[in-house]
């Protein structure tokens, strides 16, 4: 009988790659694009549109002030079971009053890229969010995504839309 010592056999490595997931949302706000830009490009307003159960807190911003390429923002969130998690975001692209992109530099995802864009339309602005993300931990991460993460992200963006509707209500003659 032949001895098959698996530690001596070179087995092909399976590349662990996780799926790239996307969330896309569009919302009309009855405000000028400049006003929408001012609101969304202020990191402080992120806390206003994030559900309170997330425990969102900005810890550090460098350089301070308005949004700019290269800016880094550190914040704490409590996404699951109230456990605090540090998230470091980098602003990787800014086109004033039109679009900006933030990317996770440290946090719970293997990849998180969030593009915010603002399109001027009659009577206001269409705000677009496009998020690309990947889960860590291969198959286990994908399972957690299916069971919890996707639903939670949809809830967060639903909350965000409701909050924005309350902050910037559509006048009756536009709706």
pLDDT digits (tens, 9 = 90+) for 36-90: 999 999 998 999 999 999 999 999 999 998 899 999 999 999 987 788 999 999 9
| pLDDT of amino acid 2 | 41
What is the total residue count of the chain?
Answer: 175
Secondary structure letter of residue 170 according to DSSP: P
HSE-up of residue 41 (Cα within 13 Å, Cβ side): 23
pTM: 0.86
| pLDDT of amino acid 61 | 96
Secondary structure letter of residue 139 according to DSSP: H
Cα separation, 26 vs 114, in Å, equals 13
| pLDDT of amino acid 17 | 62
Peptide bond into 149 cis (omega under 30): no
Q: Is the dihedral of CA 32, 155, 87, 81 positive or negative?
A: positive
Q: Is the pLDDT of residue 3 over 50?
A: no
Q: Is the pLDDT of residue 175 over 70?
A: no
Domain ranges of the chain: 22-167
The residues near 143 (Cβ < 8 Å, ≥ 6 apart) are none
User: What whole-number percentage of the chain has pLDDT above 90?
Assistant: 82
| pLDDT of amino acid 42 | 93
Class level of CATH domain 22-167: alpha beta
């Amino acid at each position: 009988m032949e001895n098959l010592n698996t530690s001596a056999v070179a087995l092909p490595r399976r590349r662990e790659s996780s799926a790239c997931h996307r969330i896309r949302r569009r919302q009309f706000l009855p405000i000028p694009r400049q006003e929408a830009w001012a609101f969304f490009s202020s990191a402080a307003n992120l806390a206003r549109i994030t559900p309170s159960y997330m425990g969102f807190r900005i810890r550090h911003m460098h350089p301070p002030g308005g949004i700019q390429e290269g800016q880094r923002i550190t914040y704490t969130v409590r996404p699951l079971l109230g456990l605090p998690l540090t998230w470091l975001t980098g602003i990787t692209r800014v086109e004033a009053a039109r679009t900006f992109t933030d990317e996770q530099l440290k946090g719970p995802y293997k990849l998180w890229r969030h593009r915010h864009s603002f399109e001027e339309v009659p009577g206001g602005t269409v705000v677009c969010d496009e998020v690309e993300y990947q889960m860590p931990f291969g198959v286990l991460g994908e399972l957690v995504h299916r069971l919890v993460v996707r639903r939670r992200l949809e809830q967060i963006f639903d909350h965000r839309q409701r909050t924005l509707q309350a902050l910037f209500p559509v006048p009756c003659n536009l709706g």
